[in-house]
Structure 1
Amino acid sequence: MVYSLENARSLIAVVLIIAICWLLSERKRRFPFMLAIGALAAQAGLVLALFAIPNSQAMLSGMTAVVDALADSSDRGAQFVFGHLSGGLAPFAMQPDGAVLPFIFGFRVLPLILVISALSALLWHWRILEWVTRFFGFLFEKTMGLGGASALAVAANIFMGMVESPIVIRGYLDKLSRSELFLMMVVGLATVAGSTMVAYAVILAPVLPNAAGHVLAASIISAPAGILLARIMIPEAPDAAPPDYDVTLKYESSKDAITKGVQDGVMVAVNVAAFLIVFVAFVWIANHLLASGQAGAVQLGLVSPSASVVTLQSIFGYVFAPVAWIIGVPWNEALAAGNILGTKLFLTEFIAFIDLGAIPADAMTDRTRMILTYAICGFANVASVGIMTGGMTVLMPARRSEILGLAWKALLPGFMATLMTAAIVAAFPADLFGR
C-alpha cells in the first residue's frame, strides 16, 4: 500500500470536523475522548472489514451482481407497464442505430425504489433484516454506549429511511431524551434508505467500479460518525436512563408486508420525483437570473464579454472547493468536486449523484469519484429537513416544538458526518479499494 500527503491531509479534515462540532456544542463539558476514539476506530475497522479482509472484493462484486439483478428485475416490471420507456427495445427506430431508448430517470430509477421498498418490508417480516439491524444495534450499544432504543433506531437508519426507522421503536419515542432524539435525526441525515441506496448504485455503476459496495459501505460507515458528532453537539445528561428496546414494527403477513412496502415505496418515489422536479426548476431559475445579471454587467462594461458564465453550480464549486480539497480530493479536481458537494447540500443528493454519474470517466479520477460517493451518500440536505420534520411530528405530535427546534441544528452535523466518512476513506491508500 502506498501512502501520500493526500491521505494525511484528509485526517486534518477529521480533526476540523470534530472541532467545529465541539465549538457548537450546547454543553461544554469534558470532551468525549473515548467516544471519539471508539467512533474513529469503528469507522476504520468497518473500512478494513469491507475492503481489506480476504475475498472482500469478491463480496463487493457479489453485492454489485445482486444490485444488477434487482435493477434488471425492476426493469422487467417497469417495461411491462411503461414499455420501451423503461429501457426495452423501441417499437420503431428512435436513434440512427435503431437501438435502445436512452436512460430515463423516471422510468428506470423510480420503479426500482418501489421494488426495493417492498422487498425490504418482506425481509423485515421474515426477520432477516430485523436480525441484521439488531446486530448493528448491539454493536453500537456496546462500542459507543448508546441506549438500546436509540441504538436500534440508529442501526435501522442504515437500511431504512430517516422517517421509517423511528417506526421500529415507535413505542419508545416519547421516552427518548433530547440528546437521543437529536442523535436519531443526525444519523438519519447522515445515512440513506435501502431503496434509494440501490438507485444511487445504478446511477453510478457506469462510471464507478463496485458502486453498489461503496454506496452500502458509505451508509454503514457514516453511522458512527453521525453518533459521534451528535453526541458532541448535544451530550447526553449524566443521569439519563435510556429505555430498553424492543421492535414495534410488525407486519401481519408476507402479503401485508409487500402491500405496505409498496405503499411506502410509492410515497418515497413520489417525494423523490416531486423534489427533483422542483429543485431542478429552481436551479434553472437561478441560473437564468445569474445569466441575465451577467449579461447586464457585460453591457455596462463591468464584466468582460469573455468571462466564464456564472451558474449556481459554478458558485457551489468555488465555495466548496476547499472542503473537497481538505477531505482528500486533489486541487485540480476540487472545483468539480465542490460543485457536487454544494449540489448535495442545497439541492438533493439525488441530483448530486446524477451529476456525479454524468461526469465522463476520463474527466475525474476513480479515487475522487469514490471519495465523493461517500461524501454525498446521506440525506443531509435542505429538502430532507422538511421531510424529516414532517414524518417525525406525525409520529411524535407531543414533541413537535422540540423536533422543529432540533431539525435545522441536525443538518450541519449530518452533512459533516458524510464528509468525515469520506475523509476516513481518503486516509487509506487507493489500492486498498482495488484501484
Structure 2
Amino acid sequence: MKFILFLAALIIIFLLAYIVSNNKREIKLKPIIIMLVLQLLLSFLLLNTEFGLVIIRGISTLFDHLLSYAAEGINFVFGGIANEGAGPFFLNVLLPIVFISVLIGIAQYIKVLPIIIRYLGLVLSKINGLGKLESYNAVASAVFGQSEVFISVKKQLPYIPEHRLYTLCTSAMSTVSASILGAYMTMIEPKYVITALVLNLFGGFIIANIINPYTVSPEEDIIEVQEGGKQTFFEMLGEYILDGFKVAIIVAAMLIGFVALIGMINQVFASIFGISFQVALGYVFAPLAFVIGVPASEVVKAGTIMATKLLSNEFVAMIDLGKISTSLSNRTVGIISVFLVSFANFSSIGIIAGAVKGLNEKQGNVVARFGIKLLYGATLVSLLTAAVTGIML
C-alpha cells in the first residue's frame, strides 16, 4: 500500500509543479530521475542501514558535545534564572545558535568552508541539470541560511536573470542553516533532521527543474564568490557571535508573536465555529498528509502541524508536534518531522526578499513579485522529502 501511495504522491507533487511550470517543453527528465533515485538511495542509507545509523549517531554526538559546550557559556551568563531542572526554550534551544555560528565563522575564516561549498557545488552541477552557481548556492544555503547566503554572491546579484534568481531563492527557502541544526535536534530526532537536510538539497533541484527549467550557457556559468574585506580573527569572532545572537533573538521574537497570534485566532475561531483554526486547516492539509504516507487515522493531526509550519514557522510547528507526538505513530512522527525541516513558510518570503533587496533593490523587488510561487515550490520540496522518507519508514 505504501508503494502505491508513494507513486501517487510523486504524481501529485510533480503535477502540481508542472501546472505552474514556466516552460513545460524545456523540462529535462534525466536529471530529475537521477536525483529522485539519489534521494531514495540516501534516505535508505540514512534511515535503514547500519552505516547510516553510524553517520547519524556521529553527527548527533557531535552536536550533543557542541550544545554542552554552548551550555557552559549560557550558564555563565544566565545561570540561576531557570528553576532547578527547568529547561527554558530560549536558553536551551535558541542561545546555542550563538556558539554554532562562531564555529561556522572559524571554518569560513580558515578557508575550509568555502572549499567544501565550492567543490560540492561543482559535483552537484554535474547531475542536477542546472548551473554551477545554482549548485554552489544550494550548498551554501545549507550552511549560511536563507538570508546570509546572498551576501556570498553579492557581486553577481545585479546580473542574475529572473529565472536563475528563482532557483537560487528556492534553494534558500528549501534548506535550513547549519547554525540552527542543533536547535532542531533538541526538538525532533536527529536522524530526521539530517535526512531532511540531505533530501531537501536534491528536492530543491528536482522541483526547480520542473517549475523553472532552463539551460545555462558556459559563458553564464561562472561562480564568483564575494569575499569582502579582510578581517582579523577576533573581528570575525565578534561578527559571528553577534550574528548568531541576532538570529536567536529574531527567532524568539517571531515565536512570541506567532504563538500568541495563533492562540488568539484559535480562540476566536473556536468561539464561532466550535473548532480551532489550526484543526480546521488540518482538514485542508489532511489529503496531502495521507498521500505522503501518514496513516488515515492521523491525517488531521498531521495536517494541523503541516499547516502550522506553513503559516508560522518550523519552530512553532515542532513545538506543537512535541506536544502530540505520543499520540502519533512513529511513522507519522518521522514523515512530519522531515516535512518541518525547511524554511518554507510565509514569513520566509519577506526574509528572502528583504535580504536580496538590502543588497540590490531591483532584484529584491523581483523576488517579492514571485514570492508566492517561491513558497509554493519550496513547499512541494518539503512534500517530496516527506514522501521519500515515508517509503523508507
TM exceeding 0.5: yes
Q: Distance in 2 between matches of 1:126 and 1:239?
A: 33
AA at the equivalent of 1:288: Q
Q: Which residue of 1 is the match for residue 259 of structure 2?
A: 280
Unaligned runs of 5+ in 2: none
1:22 to 18, 21, 28: 18
Q: Which residue of 1 is the match for residue 124 of structure 2?
A: 140
Matches within 5 A, 1:195-214: 195-204=179-188, 211-214=189-192
**2:357–2:363 contact (8 Å) kept in structure 1:** yes
Q: Distance in 1 between matches of 2:389 and 2:164?
A: 27
Q: Which residue of 2 is the match for residue 62 of structure 1?
A: 58
Task: Provide the aligned length of Structure 1 versus Structure 2.
Answer: 392
Matches within 5 A, 1:306-321: 309-321=274-286
Q: Distance in 2 between matches of 1:178 and 1:247?
A: 19
Q: Distance in 2 between matches of 1:77 and 1:159?
A: 23
Once the 2 structures are TM-superposed, how far is the Cα of residue 386 of structure 1 from its aligned partner?
A: 0.9
Matched, 1:100 2:85: yes
**1:190–1:219 contact (8 Å) kept in structure 2:** no
1:220 to 198, 212, 221: 198
2:115 to 131, 134, 140: 131
**Structure 2 counterpart SS, 1:235:** coil
Closer/same/farther in 2, CA of residues 422 and 165 from structure 1, 3 Å limit: same
Q: Distance in 2 between matches of 1:112 and 1:287?
A: 31
For the pair shown, which has the larger CA radius of gyration, 1 or 2? 1
Q: Which residue of 2 is the match for residue 327 of structure 1?
A: 292
Once the 2 structures are TM-superposed, how far is the Cα of residue 257 of structure 1 from its aligned partner?
A: 2.6
Q: Which residue of 1 is the match for residue 235 of structure 2?
A: 256
Q: Distance in 2 between matches of 1:154 and 1:318?
A: 33
Matches within 5 A, 1:322-361: 322-361=287-326
* TM-score, normalising length: structure 2: 0.93
C-alpha offsets along residues 189-225 of structure 1, whole Å, 9 cap, x if unaligned?
Answer: 1111112222011112xxxxxx223212212211221
AA at the equivalent of 2:111: R
1:45 to 41, 44, 49: 41
Once the 2 structures are TM-superposed, how far is the Cα of residue 246 of structure 1 from its aligned partner?
A: 3.4
Once the 2 structures are TM-superposed, how far is the Cα of residue 345 of structure 1 from its aligned partner?
A: 0.4
Q: Which residue of 2 is the match for residue 80 of structure 1?
A: 76
Q: Distance in 1 between matches of 2:307 and 2:119?
A: 34
Q: Distance in 1 between matches of 2:8 and 2:232?
A: 50
**2:26–2:213 contact (8 Å) kept in structure 1:** no
**1:177–1:240 contact (8 Å) kept in structure 2:** no
Q: Distance in 2 between matches of 1:360 and 1:237?
A: 44
Once the 2 structures are TM-superposed, how far is the Cα of residue 241 of structure 1 from its aligned partner?
A: 4.4
Unaligned runs of 5+ in 1: 91-98, 205-210, 295-308, 431-435
**2:281–2:303 contact (8 Å) kept in structure 1:** yes
Closer/same/farther in 2, CA of residues 375 and 267 from structure 1, 3 Å limit: same
**2:130–2:215 contact (8 Å) kept in structure 1:** no
Once the 2 structures are TM-superposed, how far is the Cα of residue 275 of structure 1 from its aligned partner?
A: 1.1
1:229 to 193, 196, 207: 207
**Structure 1 counterpart SS, 2:25:** coil
Q: Distance in 2 between matches of 1:120 and 1:8?
A: 42
**1:169–1:249 contact (8 Å) kept in structure 2:** no
Q: Which residue of 2 is the match for residue 414 of structure 1?
A: 378
Q: Which residue of 2 is the match for residue 154 of structure 1?
A: 138
Q: Distance in 2 between matches of 1:26 and 1:202?
A: 40
**Structure 2 counterpart SS, 1:341:** helix
AA at the equivalent of 1:57: L
Closer/same/farther in 2, CA of residues 248 and 213 from structure 1, 3 Å limit: farther
Q: Distance in 1 between matches of 2:210 and 2:367?
A: 18
C-alpha offsets along residues 327-371 of structure 1, whole Å, 9 cap, x if unaligned?
Answer: 01111111111111000001111101111122243x222221111
AA at the equivalent of 2:78: F
Q: Distance in 2 between matches of 1:214 and 1:179?
A: 31
Q: Distance in 1 between matches of 2:114 and 2:324?
A: 37
Using the TM superposition, name which of 77-86 and 176-185 deviates more.
77-86
AA at the equivalent of 2:328: M
Q: Distance in 2 between matches of 1:20 and 1:57?
A: 34
Q: Which residue of 2 is the match for residue 300 of structure 1?
A: none
Identity %: 28
**2:157–2:363 contact (8 Å) kept in structure 1:** no
Q: Distance in 2 between matches of 1:193 and 1:335?
A: 29
